[in-house]
Amino acid sequence: MAHNFKQLLIWQKSMDLTDLIFLYCKDLPKEERYNLIDQMNRSSCSIPSNIAEGSGKRTKHQFAEYLSISLSSSYELETQLLISERRKYGNEESLTNALNLVTEIQKMIFTFREKVANEKTIMS
C-alpha cells in the first residue's frame, strides 16, 4: 500500500518547517550566506523531500530507510539551529519556534518509521 506523501502529517509539518527556516535565515548575517544559511536551507528541504521520495519506494523497508535519512536531516538542522543560537543570530522567537517544530517532527518521524519498518507487506 503506497503512501500519498502529501497526506502525511509529518510531510506537511516538515514543509511548514522548511518555510519557517527560509524566513528565519533571512535575518541571519550575510556572511553566513554560503555557510550556515545554505546548510540550514538544504537540511530543512531534505526532511520533506526524503519523506516524499521514500513514499514511492516498493517496500516498507525502503520507505523506512528514507525516513531514517529524513530523521538524520532533522538532527542536522537542529544542530545548525543550535549553532545559530550560540552565535546569537536571528530572531529568538523564530528560533524557538523552529527548534520546537523540529523536535516535534523528529518524534513523529521516529514513531512513523518504526511503524513502517514493522509492517511486513510490500507497498503497491
Domain membership of residue 124 (yes or no) is: no
Domain membership of residue 17 (yes or no) is: yes
CA distance 115 to 117: 6
**Cβ-contact 110, 69 below 8 angstroms:** no
The range of the structural domain enclosing residue 111 comes to: 5-118
- Cell triple for residue 16? 511548514
Residue partners of 56: CB distance under 8 A and separation at least 6 = 2, 5
Residues shown for the chain: 124
Domain membership of residue 123 (yes or no) is: no
pLDDT band per the 50, 70, 90 thresholds, residue 1: very low
Q: Return the CATH number at 73.
A: 1.20.1440.60
**pLDDT tens sequence across 21-78:** 999 999 999 999 999 999 999 999 999 999 999 999 888 999 999 999 999 999 999 9
- Count of domains forming the chain: 1
Is pTM beyond 0.85? Reply is yes
CA distance 95 to 82: 9
